[in-house]
A and B are shown apart, each in its own frame.
Chain A
Amino acid sequence: MAHQAHAYHMVDPSPWPLTGAVSALLMTSGLAIWMHFHSTTLMSLGLVLLLLTMYQWWRDIIREGTFQGHHTPPVQKGLRYGMILFITSEVFFFLGFFWAFYHSSLAPTPELGGCWPPTGITTLNPFEVPLLNTAVLLASGVTVTWAHHSIMEGQRKQALQSLTLTILLGFYFTALQAMEYYEAPFTIADGVYGSTFFVATGFHGLHVIIGSTFLTVCLLRQMLHHFTSEHHFGFEAAAWYWHFVDVVWLFLYISIYWWGS
C-alpha cells in the first residue's frame, strides 16, 4: 500500500459494479423472456449472479473495513450518511403504499359500497395475532438495544445472546405473518382492500426478512470478533434498519389493521 497523506479510502478496482449491473440486465430481460417463452433460465442466471455479486462485494467491504483498516472516522461518516439516505428512501417507498391505502379508505368509492372495509370484506382481528406481532417487534427493538450496549461495553457473551434473541424474534414475526397470510379471509385479488393490505404488509415482511439476514450477518461477525467496543458500524446500520422496520410495522398496525378494520 502506497503512503497517503489523508484519511480517505482509495478503493481498489472492483469487478462487482459490472457483475451487479449485468445481473440486473439478466433478471429484467429474463422476466420478459419468462413471460413470452415460459423459460426461467435467464432470470435464474441473473439471480445467481446477483447473489454471487452480493456475497463477494460485501465480503470485500468487510476485508477493507475490518482487516485493512480503511474505515477511518471520515470514511465512517460517509457510511453513516449513506445509510441515513438509504433508510430515508425506504421511508418514501412505504409512504407510497400508505398514500394508496388512505386514498382508497378515506373516501371509499360507490363500487366499494361507500364504506371501509369494503362491503364483503371480513378483516383480521387486530387484537389477535397482529397485536402479538406488535409485541414481538417491540421486544426485538429492546433486545437489539441490549445487544448494542453489550457490544459497547465489551460484554461478548451478552452481545451474542441478545443478538440471537433479536434474530429469533424476527423469525417468530415472519412465521406468525406467514400463518396469518395463510388464514386470511381475503386475497390480494379481492379489490383495493386486498391489494393495499398485501402489498404494504408483504413489502414490510420482505424488509423484516432482509433485516433478519442483516442481523444474522452481524451475529456471525460478532462470533468472529469483528466488532470492537468503539468501532461496529455494520451492527449500528443493522440496528437502524431494524428500528426502521419496527416503526413501519407500528404505522401498518395502527392504520391498516386497527383503524382500517
Chain B
Amino acid sequence: MYYKFSGFTQKLTGAAPTAAYNPQGLKLSLPAESPTMIFATPTKLVSEAGSTVEYLGTNKVPDLQKFFQTSDGVPVHLKRGYPDRLLYRTTMALTVGGVVYCLVALYIAAQPKKK
C-alpha cells in the first residue's frame, strides 16, 4: 500500500506507487504504467461453451418475459389463459361452496342436542 498527502482532507490517503508520498525525498524507480492483464484461462467463445449454457433445458425466460409483459389489462393470475382460468374458477368454487358448507355445519353444531 502506498500513501499520499491529500490536500483536501489534510490526511494520508491511498495512492498509486508513482504518486506516493516519499518523506525522504527519494523516488523509487517504479514503472509508471500499470502492468498488462493476464487471463488465467484461455478465453472461450460463446459458441464453444454451448453445452454448459444449455445444461438441463434451454432458457425460456426471455419468451415468458415477453409474454407476461404484454399490456392487455388481464391481471397476473389469469394471464396464461385457459389453465389459469380453470384453476382460478376451481379455487373460487371451493371458496364459495366451502363458506356455505362451513356456515351450515356451524349452524347445525350450534343447535342444542335433542333427547
Contact A60 B102 (CB under 8 A): no
Q: Does A37 contact B (CB under 8 A)?
A: yes
Contact A12 B60 (CB under 8 A): no
Closest CB of chain A to B51's CB: distance in Å? Answer: 10
Contacts of B71 in A (CB 8 A): 1
Give the number of chain A interface residues (Cβ < 8 Å): 40
Output the least CB separation between A20 and chain B (Å). Answer: 10
Q: Are B91 and A19 interface neighbours, CB within 8 A?
A: yes
Please report the total number of B residues contacting A with Cβ < 8 Å.
Answer: 32
Cα of A189 to Cα of B57 in the assembled complex, Å: 51
B52, A25: Cβ atoms closer than 8 Å:
no
> In the bound complex, do residue A67 and residue B64 qualify as a contact, i.e. CB atoms below 8 Å apart?
yes
- Judge whether B68 is part of the interface by a CB distance below 8 angstroms: yes
Q: Is the CB of B94 within 8 A of A45?
A: yes
Query: Chain A's nearest CB lies how many Å from the CB of B105?
Result: 5
Q: Which residues of A contact B68 (CB under 8 A)?
A: 63, 67-68
Residue of chain A at shortest CB distance from B109: A36
Report if A16 contacts B (CB, 8 A): yes
A26 on interface, CB distance cutoff 8 Å: yes
Which residues, 21 to 69 on A, are CB-close (under 8 Å) to B? 22-23, 25-26, 29-30, 32-33, 36-37, 42, 45-46, 48-49, 52-53, 56, 60, 63-64, 66-69
One digit per residue, 1 when the CB lies within 8 angstroms of any chain A CB and 0 when it does not, for chain B 47-67 equals: 000001101110111001101
Shortest distance in angstroms between B88's beta carbon and chain A's nearest beta carbon?
A: 7
Instruction: Tell me if B2 is interfacial: C-beta within 8 Å of chain A.
Output: no
Please give, as numbers and ranges, the residues of chain A lying within 8 Å of B98 by CB-CB distance.
22-23, 25-26, 42, 45-46, 49
Given A14-B75, A60-B77, A67-B61, A52-B56 contact (CB < 8 Å): no
Q: Taking the complex as formed, is B4 at the interface, i.e. its CB lies under 8 A from any CB of chain A?
A: no
Cross-chain contact A223 with B56 (CB below 8 angstroms): yes
Q: How far is the CB of A17 from chain B (nearest CB, A)?
A: 11
- Is A16's CB under 8 angstroms from B77's CB? yes
Is residue A120 contacting chain B, with contact meaning CB distance below 8 A? no
Query: Residues 76-115 of chain B: 1 if any A CB is under 8 Å from the residue's CB, otherwise 0?
Result: 1101000000011011101100110110011001000000
Residues of A with Cβ closer than 8 Å to B? 1, 12-16, 18-19, 22-23, 25-26, 29-30, 32-33, 36-37, 42, 45-46, 48-49, 52-53, 56, 60, 63-64, 66-69, 156-157, 160, 223-226
